[in-house]
Amino acid sequence: MTTATPAGVTVNAVAPVAGPKKRRLRNDPRVLLFVLPAAVLLIVFRVVPVFYGIFLSLTSWSGLGQPKFSGIENYIRLFNDPTVAQAAVNNLLIVCAVPIWVALPLLFAVLIHEGAWPGGILKIAFVIPNLVSPALLGLCFSLLLGLDGPINIILQSMGLQPIEWLANSNTVLGAVVFVLIYASFGVGVLFYSAGLASIDDSLLDAASIDGANWAQRLWYVTIPHLRSVTLFWTVVVLTAATTATFPLIYTLTGGGPGRATTTIDLYIFQLAFQFQKPAYATALGVVTFVVVFAVILVLFRLSRRKSDD
């Protein structure tokens, strides 16, 4: 199609299609210049360490001198290490709390979104723990949960016996899970709140007109529309539960009593920086990475299949 301008010049009228422009950009070598700095940083600080870590895991390096190749010795040893087994069990028990970890912020976000609670103040209050270093949070809770800490003082004021939350093998993991959820809860509320804001109110109104009660609206309208947020948050907490518990547990319980709260990431730290076995620690890190990556991959696959259905 052609168009004549007032000046009598004839130009081609181009339909506003983004495809060719995108293709042009993709083929333009100058684009590489813009990508290069970030790519270099990623490769140097993310990709190379991963491969170097895999290499180290195949050595008997003690942190001194040059690494000596030892094949899969470290990996074989992992399967005979009782602390690895105990730590893996502890991580699995923490992962069992992921449904609560995912659902609780959703519930609070919905209540805030629907005006049941004063949103602004609560959101700020929920996020404050995220502004505090996990290590500091661990220290704070070690005082709060101590035998003569405020929580036990409250229990005693109610006529109950104080509890050694952090020194009793039966209560300590529950206490750790509680603090882990508390530490990340606020960010979850923020993510879900952002997702809720994007849901068209007319959908909820229509459901109400059709006679859906609050729980039905939540189950059939809100939650399905928050699938991508839920998936993202699940990946975040799953990763946290398996690879990022260290700073909090280190200061809260040190992995004890016994090995009741020793997790894989805490043990990796101990192996590398307390036991002088960085190569063995790296092997454990590599296995953890592979397992967590596989679980997340399965999670994405399942989610995609559900979306396709």
Partner 1 sequence: MKSSTKIAAQRRRFTAIGAAAAAAALLLAGCAPGGDDGGEKTIVVWDQQLENTNGWAELMADVDAAFEEANPGVTIDHVGQTTDSAAHTQLLQAAFQAGEGPDVIMMQPANDGVYIYAEALTPLNDLIDKSVLDEMIGLADTSVDGQIYGIPSGVQSMVIYYNKALFSQAGLDPEAAPKDFDELMTAAAALKAAGITPFAGGNGASGDLSVWAYSNLFPGVGTTEDALAVGANEIKFTDPVVMDTLQQYVDIYDAGYFDAGVLSKDLGTGIGDFTAGQGAMSFNIATLLPAMADGNGDPTAGGVGIENLGVIPNLGGPANYVPVGAAVAWTVPAFSPNPDVAAKYIEMLSNAETQQAMFDSFGWLPANTAADTSGGPSETYPAMRVMLDTILGGGDSQLPAHQWWKAPVATEFKKQMQAVLGGSITLEEAMTAVQAIQDQQ
Q: Which residue is it, tokens 């999670």?
A: 299
From residue 41, alpha-carbon distances to 38, 194, 244, 257 in Å are: 5, 30, 23, 41
Contact 44, 273 (CB under 8 A): no
| Footprint on residues 30-89 left by partner 1 (CB under 8 A) | 62-65, 82-83
From residue 42, alpha-carbon distances to 38, 56, 169, 236 in Å are: 6, 20, 42, 20
* Of the residues 111, 122, 135, 167, which one makes contact with partner 1 according to CB under 8 A: 167
* Of the residues 133, 156, 169, 216, which one makes contact with partner 1 according to CB under 8 A: 169
Establish if 133 lies at the interface with partner 1 (CB under 8 A).
no
| Footprint on residues 257-286 left by partner 1 (CB under 8 A) | 257-260, 262, 269-270, 273-278
Name which of 230, 245, 123, 126 is nearest 185 in CA terms: 126
Stretch of 49-57, 113-121, 161-169, 281-289 contacting partner 1, by CB under 8 A: 161-169
Residue 205 structure tokens: 């109104």
Output the smallest distance, CB 151 to partner 1, in A: 11
* Of the residues 101, 108, 126, 165, which one makes contact with partner 1 according to CB under 8 A: 165
Helix axes 98-113, 172-197, angle to 10 degrees: 40
Size of the site for partner 1 (CB under 8 A): 37
- Residue 280 and residue 81: Cα distance in Å, rounded? 11
Binding site for partner 1 (CB under 8 A): 62-65, 82-83, 142, 145-148, 164-170, 251-260, 262, 269-270, 273-278
